[in-house]
Amino acid sequence: MQTISSNRETFEGLVGTAGLLAAAGLWERAAVQAQLAARFAWTDHTGYFGHQGLEEVLGKLRSSIAQPPPALPGKAARRLVVHVATQLYGTGGHTQSIAHWIRQDPDSRHQLVVTRQGSTECPAKIAACLASRRDLLLLDRRPGGLIKRAAALRRIIVAADVVIVHAHPHDVVPSLALGVPGAPPAVYVNHADHVFWQGTSAAAIVLCLRASGRDLTVHRRGVNAERCLVANRPLELAPAPSAEELPKPAAARISWGVAEKDFVVVSAAAGSKYDPVGPDSLIDLFRSFLLRRPTARLLVAGPSPTGAWADAAAATGGRIRAVGRLANITTLLSIADAYVDSFPFASLTSMLEAGAHGLPLVTFRGHPAECAVLGSDSPGLEDLLLAPSTPAGFVSALTELADSGSTRTARGAATRKAIVEGHSPSAWRKTAELVYTEAALARTARVAPSPTPWGEGPLDRLVGLVQQETGFAGLDAAWADIMPFLGTSQRIKQWAAWRKSPHMGLSQLVPDPSRAWVSDARRRLIQFS
């Protein structure tokens, strides 16, 4: 495993090369090199969550792009909001967030620009929420590399009132297009608040989705607190079903193999979020609770019932059980008495969905204090979450809920009320108006790259451990990602150097725009065959 220090050395070498290329006026090569550096830092923790030197290189590249003529004067009928994303998916938090934002802000006109959709088809739910098909623009369907995409984006946004950036952490196209005099203010959504991302020098406002994300942005990304807003993300939480819509409680419990007297705890998240990286795991924590409450059960949606989960099921007589991925967890939530957040890595959206069903929520904060961003916190919920920080506290919190049905009911009802009110369409419209107002006030402010502290403390080590398990880490993976942007001779040279990497395939030899065109042509052939 690479160390944080060695990753830092690699990263700073990549940034240094980007700076030399920019100083020589080799703008496209410098942009690709900057994206390579950011891609590596995103997936191989370098001890940085933002980097002043990289932002300075991006500033030089930004200034090399010609500013288009200003929009024709005249008052538009509605505010124009342009959203920018790197890639859209059928599932995934930021795609859902974009769709919800647009639907819940009908008073504005919305456009969506995607910088690198690639072979993935745009989900129908995105097209459905836009007023016109012309409001969805795919930059990788046009010729040219990163600089040309940034120039195209700058032309598209010239008439916008505000730009909302939902891009991947390494995507430099929005950073190159925004943050210049005459451009509309940019709001960067801090949806990846626990990893490195670039673009702070282009952001008029950073929209943080929780206090822990704001704190990390201020202390480790070099963003002034005045430029940070904390607000709930736009969500469309399904209301808790009525008693008439669900199976009778006894029947539902029987279908899950649960007795009526059992105290049922539910959790739901991707399996990787439960993989331990320290001394504690959710399995071990709950086994300690079972010693006090042998009739309790933990049902976890997401992980496969194999490995450690199979061992836990065998050791506890099935009282700890992974049930795999579920298309709909409503029935599972309906039999639960309490919900426990995933650990060691939180899943805030899943927890909010459980709270909207009226369940009391427990999130274990067993990490050191500086690692708060790896846990769950959300505006309006801090006083309602049970958030023990020790194994004994975890057992005590669940014991309290198991012993008192009235406590469960009261806390669950208060949690549901706070979540529904905080994420209602009217609440989001107020949040959106605040975002737009703050962005307009920051429009003329010049953002200079600020110092970005380096660290290798507990948070850095935990983030590094997680990234090593994702399958996307390594300098070879970063090269594979940016290789289609290289010139022909460079592309062949780098492909030959990395050809033995599992991340490298023949598709890396195809220029990026051609990859998009080929995938579109293949899709059309399938449709008409």
Query: How do residues 384-419 score in pLDDT, each as one tens digit?
Result: 999 999 999 999 999 999 999 999 999 999 999 999
- Average model confidence (pLDDT) for the chain? 90
Question: What average pLDDT does range 169-175 have in this prediction?
Answer: 98
Q: Which residues of 42-62 are buried (b: 16+ CB within 10 A; e: fewer)?
A: bbbbbbbbbbbbbbbbbbbbb
Q: How confident is the model at residue 220 (pLDDT cuts 50, 70, 90)?
A: very high
Residue 195: the pLDDT is 94
- 137: closest CA among 217, 190, 83, 76? 83
Residue 75: the pLDDT is 63
* Residue extent(s) of CATH 3.40.50.2000 domains in the chain: 243-422
Whether the bond between 344 and the residue before it is cis, its omega within 30 degrees of 0, is yes
- Of residues 270 and 105, which shows the higher confidence score? 105
Q: How many angstroms separate the first and last alpha carbons of the chain?
A: 48
* Residue extent(s) of CATH 3.40.50.11380 domains in the chain: 1-236+429-471
C-alpha to C-alpha distance for 24 and 64, rounded to whole angstroms: 12
Q: Provide the CA 424 distance to its chain's centre, in angstroms.
A: 21
Residue 65 phi/psi, 5° resolution?
A: -95, 125
Say yes or no to pLDDT of 246 above 70. Answer: no
Question: What average pLDDT does range 269-289 have in this prediction?
Answer: 89
Say yes or no to pLDDT of 1 above 70. Answer: no
C-alpha to C-alpha distance for 435 and 484, rounded to whole angstroms: 36
Angle value at C-alpha 233, between 232 and 236, nearest 5 degrees: 110
Say yes or no to pLDDT of 346 above 70. Answer: yes
C-alpha to C-alpha distance for 123 and 90, rounded to whole angstroms: 5
SS3 480: helix
Q: How confident is the model at residue 243 (pLDDT cuts 50, 70, 90)?
A: very low
Q: Topology of domain 243-422, per CATH?
A: Rossmann fold (3.40.50)
Over residues 284-343, the pLDDT tens digits come to 999 999 999 999 999 999 999 999 999 999 999 999 999 998 877 888 999 999 999 999
Distances (CA, A) of 281 to 173, 252, 276: 39, 28, 5
Over residues 84-102, the pLDDT tens digits come to 999 998 766 678 889 889 9
Q: Helix H segments across 178-261? A: 211-220, 249-255
Reported CATH class of domain 1-236+429-471: alpha beta
Q: Provide the CA 118 distance to its chain's centre, in angstroms.
A: 19
Q: How confident is the model at residue 139 (pLDDT cuts 50, 70, 90)?
A: very high
SS3 469: coil
Is 320 within 8 Å of 283 (Cβ atoms)?
Answer: yes
- Of residues 216 and 380, which shows the higher confidence score? 216
What's the pTM value of the predicted model, to 2 decimals?
A: 0.89
The sheet that has 296-301: what strands, in order across it? 320-324, 296-301, 263-268, 338-340, 361-362
Residue 525: the pLDDT is 67
Distances (CA, A) of 234 to 98, 269, 319, 321, 417: 8, 20, 36, 32, 16
Residue 250 phi/psi, 5° resolution?
A: -65, -45
